Structure 1
Amino acid sequence: MSASRVWSVRTVWLILMACLGVSVVVAAMAALNTALPDIAQDVGASNAQMTWILDGYTLVLAALLLPAGAIGDRFGRRGALMTGLLIFGAANLGAVFVSTSMELITTRLVAGVGAALIMPATLSLITAGVPRDQRAIGISIWAAVAGVGAIGGFFVTGLLMAFFSWHSVFITFAAASAVMLLLALTIGSSKDSNPGKIDVPGSLASVAAITGIVFGLLEAPSRGWVDPVVMGTLIGGVLLGALFVWIELRSPSPLLDVRLFANRAFGSGALSVGLQFFATFGVFYLLLLLLQLVYGFSPLKSAVSLTPLVVGVGVFALLGNWVAVRFHSLRFVLGGGMLILGAGVLALGFFDVQTYWKVAVMLGVCAVGIGLTTAPATTAIMANTPQDNQGIGSAVNDTARELGAALGIALAGSLMAAGYGHRIGPVAESARTQLAAVDPAAADRAATEIGRSMAGAVAVADKLPPQAGALARFITEGAQAAFVPPMQHACIGLGVVLLVGAVFLTWLAPRQVLTPENPAVVDDAEPAA
C-alpha cells in the first residue's frame, strides 16, 4: 500500500466528526414522531400544532441551507459547524423547559437554524479536507450515515421513551451538541480563498422560494392539494424559484451558480438524491404506521424492524461509489440503483405486507437501491462543484434531500389519507350507532376520530371499556382493512415515480463522475478518486 493510501488519524477523525454532525441533524428530523403523543398531551398541542412541532424544524432547515452553506464557504466551515451546534444545542435544551406548544414550536424553529449551519458544513469539510484519493470513501461513509440517520432517531427515541419522559430526547440532543462542540475544536477548517460580495437578493429569494414549496408540500396531506393555501404557497414558491434563477444568472457574485445544473453529473446527482429521499421518507411514513398500528410494535421495536434498511444502505453505499468511480459507470449505477429501489417500493405495494419477514425482504431490496445510488450521487455533486464553493455544493445536496423528503411524505400521506377516508366511512358510522345508545356526544367524537386516521381509530378502540371488547375489535380490524390497501396504493405511486426517474437518470447521467462539460469546475475540483 502506498503512503498516499494510508489513512491518517486526522482524516479519520475529520470524517467521524462530520458523520456525527450530520447524524444528529437527520435524527432530529425523525426523532419526535415516536414521542409526539406524550408531548402533545403535556403541552396541550392541537393537531395543527402537532404538525408544526414535527415540521417546523424541517421547514427552517430546508429554507436556510443555501445561505448557510455560503456562510461556511465565506467565513469558515468549522466556524459554521460550531455556531450551528451551539444554536442547535441551546434550542434543544430550551425545549426541556417549555410549558406550551407555541414555546416548543419556537425551539424547533431555532433548532432548524442551527441544523442548517451544521449540515452543509459537515460534507464540505470532508470534500475540502480529505485527500483526494480517499475522498470518495469519505463521502460514501457520510452518505450512508445521512441515509440511515433517521432510523437512528427512531431507535434512540424509542429507547429513551421506554425508560424516561419525552424531555430525555431533547436532553440527549443538547448533550450531544455540547460534546461535539468541544470536539470540533480539534479539527481543521477551510473556506473560499476569494469570496465575492454576499448575494443578499439571491439569498432572500432562495429562502422565500424553498419556504413556499416546502410549506405547501407539508400542508398538502392534511389540507388537500387544491386548498387555496397549499396551491398559493406551491405556485408562489415556484415563481420565486424562477426569480431566484433570474437573479443568479445576472449576479456577479451569485449565491449559487445555477449553470452548474447544466453539468449532467451535477444535475443527475441532485435529481438522484431528491428521488432517494422522496422514496425513503415516503416509505418511512407509511411503514411506521404499519408497524405500530397494524403489527402493534412499540416505537423501539419499530425502529429495530428497519434494520435491513440500515445494513443494506451501509454496505452498498461503499460499493456504489467504488463501482461508479472505478469503472466510469455513474449512469448505470444511478439508473440501475434507482430501478432496484423502485422495484422494492413497488413490491411493498403489490405483495402481502401482513407478515413482517416479507416486509423485511422488500426493505432489503430497497436498501440495495438506496445504497448503490446515495454515495455516487453525492460524489457527482461535490466533484463538479468548484473547490471554494464546497459549502454551496453540500447545501444543494442537502436541499435536494429535504425537498425530496417533503414531496415523498406529501404524496404518500395524501394517497393514503384519501384511500382511508373513502373506506372507513361504514366502520365509523357503525361505531357511532353502537356508541350513541350510551353517550351520543362521545359517539360523534369517536366517529370523527375513526374517520380522521387509523391512529385515531386505534385510540378510540383502546379507550373503550373491557365489556365493549367486540366493538373495539370491530373498529381496529375495520381501520386496518381501510388502511392497508391505500398504504399499498401509495407505495405503488411512489414506485412508479422512481421507475420513471430511473429511466430519466439513465439518459441524463454521464458515464464519468467528473465531466468536462464545465471546464471551470473541472479545473477547480480535484478528482473524487
Structure 2
Amino acid sequence: MSEVAAVVRHPKRWLILVVLMLATLVLVVDNMALNVAIPPLTEDLGATAQEIQWIIASYILVFAGLLLTSGSLGDRFGRRKLMIIGLVVFGLASLAAAFSKNPEQLIAARTLMGVGGALVMPSTLSILITVFEEDERRKAMSAWGAVSMVGLIGGPVAGGAIIAHFWWGAVFLINVPIAAIAIAAALVWMPESKAPAGKPDVLGAILSVIGMVSLTWAITEMPKGLDRASTLAAFGVAIVALTSFVIWQVKNPNAMVPMNLFRKRNFAGGSLALTLVQIGNGGLLLVLTQYVQFVMGYTPTEAGLAFIPLAIAALVFNGVGAALGAKVGNRVLTFVGLLTIAGAFIYLANAGEGFWPLALAMGLIGAGSGVAMPAAIGSLMGEIPPEKAGVGSALNDTIQQAGAALGVAILGSLLTAGYTDAMPESAPEQAKASIGDAFGVAAQTGDTGLIATAREAFVTAQGTTFLISAGMVVAAAILAVIVLRDKKKQPGDETPQQDPELVTAA
C-alpha cells in the first residue's frame, strides 16, 4: 500500500466541512442581501451615494485589515476558537445593523461585522486544508466554494422577499440563525487545531493592521480625488507600514507571514491572478443591482431572482471543475474559466436590455467562476505548510480582499464619472451624481423625462465599466497560463481507494 493510501483520515471530516460551509454561508448571505437592500435603505436612511459606498466598504476595510492578524491568532490559539468568537461577533453586529437609525450607526455595525468576518474566514479554509488529505481536498474545496453560490441564490432571494414584506433592516436578521447553527455545530463536531506555540509577532500584527486599513481607506477615498490630502496621507501611511511589514517579516525569525511563499510560482502567480479577477469583478454586483432595479425596474425580490442563472451555472461547473481537475490540471482550468468570465463581461457591455441577455451573461460568469476559482485557489493553497495554514489562508484572503476593495473603488468611480459625463448639461446637478439621486429628483419634481435620461446615461457608463472589467480578467488569464504549474505525480503516488464516507458525502 502506498504512503498516501496509508494516511489515517479524520473520521468527522465531512461533518466538519458542513460547519465550515455554514460559517462561510453567513458571510456570503449578508453581502448579497445588503446589495438588494441598497435602494430601500438609501430612501429610508436618507443616505448619500458616498455613505452607501462606506456602508459597503466599511466591512471590507476592517475585514481586509484584520485578516492576517486573525489568521496568525488562529494558528497560535486555535482555529475553531477564533471561528466561534468571530461568529458570535458577526451575529451580534448583525442585530445592531438591523435596527440602525441612521447611516452612521449602520456603518459602525458593518465595521463590527467586518471584525467578526475577519475572525471567521481564515479559520474556515485553514481548517479545511488541515483536515482533508490532498486527494480529497479538491472535492472538499469545491464543496466549500459552492456555498458561495448558495449564498448568491439564498441571499438576494430571501433578502428581496423580506424587503417586500418587512423593512430593509430585516435582511441582517438572516445572519443570526445561520451563525447560531454554525456555532452549535462547531462545538459538537469540530476538534481544535493549532500550530506549535511560538513567539508572537506583535510588531508584525500592528504593521499589517495599520498598513491594510490605511490602504483600504485610501482606495475607498479614491473616488473623491487622488489629489486630496487625506487620500495621499492614507496612501503614504500604507506604503510605509506595508514596506516596514515586509522588511520585518524577512528579518524576523518568528515572522507572522512566511514570505518564502511568494518565491513559489503557484502561490505568487495564483494570488496575483485572483487579485486581478477581484478588481475586475469588484463592480459587478454594485453595477448590476442598480441596473436591474433602476433601469429594468425590478422589485427587490425580482432583483434577487435575476442572479439565479449565475448561481446555478457556478454550482454545476464547480462540480465539473472538481471532476476535471485531476485530469486536466489547475492551470488549464484557471485559464479557460477566466476567459469565459472575460467574454461574459464583453457581452454584457454590448448586450441589449432585457432578462435573457442578462441571464446568458450571468450564466457565463457563473460557469467561468465555477471552473476557474477552485482551481486557482487549490493551486496556491497547495503551497502552504500545515503549521501556517491559518496565516497562509489569511494572506490569500487579504490579497483578494484588497483587490475587491480596489475594484469597487476604481470601477465604482469609473461608473459614476461615466454616468455624470453621459448626463446632459441641462440636467439638475443633483441628478448627475448617481442614478439613485436622479430618481429622487424625478420623484420630487415629477419629471419623468429625467428618469429616461438617467437610465440611458447609466447604461452607457455601465458598458465602459464592463469592458475595463473584461480587460482585468483577460490579464489574469494570461498571467495564470504563464505562471501556474501543475505538480507532476511522482512514481509510486497512487490515489487511495474510494472511501465509503466520501461517496456518501458526495
TM-score normalised by L of structure 2: 0.89
Tell me the CA shift for residue 355 of structure 1. 2.4
Mapped pair 1:404 → 2:408: no
Tell me the CA shift for residue 8 of structure 1. 8.7
Q: Distance in 1 between matches of 2:365 and 2:389?
A: 30
* Structure 1 residues 74-132: Cα deviation after superposition (integer angstroms, max 9, x where no partner): 11111111111111112122334444443332222112111111111111121112344
Q: Distance in 2 between matches of 1:48 and 1:289?
A: 15
In 2, are the aligned partners of 1:66 and 1:395 still within 8 Å (CA)? yes
User: In the alignment, which residue of structure 2 is the partner of 1:463?
Assistant: 444
Tell me the CA shift for residue 189 of structure 1. 2.8
Q: Distance in 2 between matches of 1:513 and 1:217?
A: 40
Change (3 A) 1:463 1:404: same
Change (3 A) 1:79 1:293: same
Mapped pair 1:502 → 2:501: no
Tell me the CA shift for residue 390 of structure 1. 1.1
Give runs of aligned pairs for residues 339-488 of structure 1, distance below 5 A: 339-349=339-349, 351-428=350-427, 447-465=428-446, 471-472=447-448, 474-488=449-463
Tell me the CA shift for residue 302 of structure 1. 1.4
User: In the alignment, which residue of structure 2 is the partner of 1:444?
Assistant: none
Q: Distance in 2 between matches of 1:451 and 1:96?
A: 30
User: In the alignment, which residue of structure 2 is the partner of 1:138?
Assistant: 140
Give runs of aligned pairs for residues 102-251 of structure 1, distance below 5 A: 102-146=104-148, 149-150=151-152, 152-221=154-223, 223-251=224-252
What is the SS of the residue equivalent to 2:468?
helix
Change (3 A) 1:215 1:498: same
Number of equivalenced pairs: 487
**Amino acid in structure 1 at the alignment position of 2:310:** L
User: In the alignment, which residue of structure 1 is the partner of 2:19?
Assistant: 17
* Structure 1 residues 386-444: Cα deviation after superposition (integer angstroms, max 9, x where no partner): 1111111221222233122112222221221111111213351xxxxxxxxxxxxxxxx
In 2, are the aligned partners of 1:260 and 1:267 still within 8 Å (CA)? yes
User: In the alignment, which residue of structure 2 is the partner of 1:53?
Assistant: 55
In 2, are the aligned partners of 1:143 and 1:375 still within 8 Å (CA)? yes
What is the SS of the residue equivalent to 1:162?
helix
What is the SS of the residue equivalent to 2:423?
helix
* Structure 1 residues 242-280: Cα deviation after superposition (integer angstroms, max 9, x where no partner): 221111101111111111011111112222332333333
User: In the alignment, which residue of structure 2 is the partner of 1:310?
Assistant: 311
Tell me the CA shift for residue 238 of structure 1. 3.3
What is the SS of the residue equivalent to 2:425?
helix
**Amino acid in structure 1 at the alignment position of 2:437:** G
Q: Distance in 1 between matches of 2:8 and 2:321?
A: 22
User: In the alignment, which residue of structure 1 is the partner of 2:336?
Assistant: 336
In 2, are the aligned partners of 1:276 and 1:374 still within 8 Å (CA)? no
**Amino acid in structure 2 at the alignment position of 1:480:** R
In 1, are the aligned partners of 2:45 and 2:103 still within 8 Å (CA)? yes
Tell me the CA shift for residue 331 of structure 1. 2.2
Q: Distance in 2 between matches of 1:45 and 1:316?
A: 39
In 2, are the aligned partners of 1:268 and 1:377 still within 8 Å (CA)? no
Gap regions ≥5 residues in structure 2: 491-506
Q: Distance in 1 between matches of 2:115 and 2:454?
A: 39
Moved more, 382-391 or 24-33: 24-33
Change (3 A) 1:488 1:45: closer
* Structure 1 residues 155-182: Cα deviation after superposition (integer angstroms, max 9, x where no partner): 3321211111123223222232223222
Q: Distance in 2 between matches of 1:219 and 1:30?
A: 23
User: In the alignment, which residue of structure 1 is the partner of 2:259?
Assistant: 258
**Amino acid in structure 2 at the alignment position of 1:242:** T
TM-score normalised by L of structure 1: 0.85
Q: Distance in 2 between matches of 1:47 and 1:480?
A: 17
In 1, are the aligned partners of 2:36 and 2:289 still within 8 Å (CA)? no
In 2, are the aligned partners of 1:270 and 1:396 still within 8 Å (CA)? no
Q: Distance in 1 between matches of 2:215 and 2:66?
A: 13
What is the SS of the residue equivalent to 2:290?
helix
Q: Distance in 2 between matches of 1:379 and 1:260?
A: 14
User: CA RMSD for the aligned pairs?
Assistant: 2.6
Give runs of aligned pairs for residues 4-43 of structure 1, distance below 5 A: 10-40=12-42, 42-43=44-45
**Amino acid in structure 2 at the alignment position of 1:202:** G
Tell me the CA shift for residue 300 of structure 1. 1.8
Change (3 A) 1:104 1:89: same
**Amino acid in structure 2 at the alignment position of 1:393:** G
User: In the alignment, which residue of structure 1 is the partner of 2:496?
Assistant: none
Q: Distance in 2 between matches of 1:11 and 1:4?
A: 17
Change (3 A) 1:299 1:44: closer
